[in-house]
Amino acid sequence: MNRVRRETAARRLMEAAPPPPVPPELYPEIVRRGERLLRLRRAAVLLMWVLLGAAAVAFTVWAITAQPWVEPPSETTPPLTGW
C-alpha cells in the first residue's frame, strides 16, 4: 500500500467516526502535563541561549588572547650570506 492510499484510508476513518468524548476527570491531568511540558521547553530554550552566550564569550576571550589573525613570529633566523 503506497503513501497516498494510506493517507486516503486514514482520512476516511477520521471523517467517518466522531471523536470519542474525553472524560472530564482527565482535563486537570492534561492541563498539568501540558504546563509541565511548556515549562520544560522554556527551560530548554533558556539553557540553549545561555550555552550559546557562554560559547560566544569563550570564543571572544580566546580570540582576544590568542590573536589568531596575527602571523606568528619566525622560529628560525634568516641565513647570513654575503658578508
Q: Cα–Cα distance between 59 and 4 in angstroms, integer? A: 49
Predicted confidence pLDDT, tens digits, the chain (83 residues): 699 999 999 898 888 878 778 888 998 999 999 999 999 999 999 999 999 999 999 999 999 999 888 887 777 877 777 76
- Measured CA to CA, the distance from residue 77 to residue 45 in angstroms comes to 53
CA 76 – CA 83 distance, rounded (Å): 19
* Global confidence as pTM: 0.59
Q: Return the half-sphere exposure (C-beta side, CA atoms, 13 A cut-off) of residue 42.
A: 6
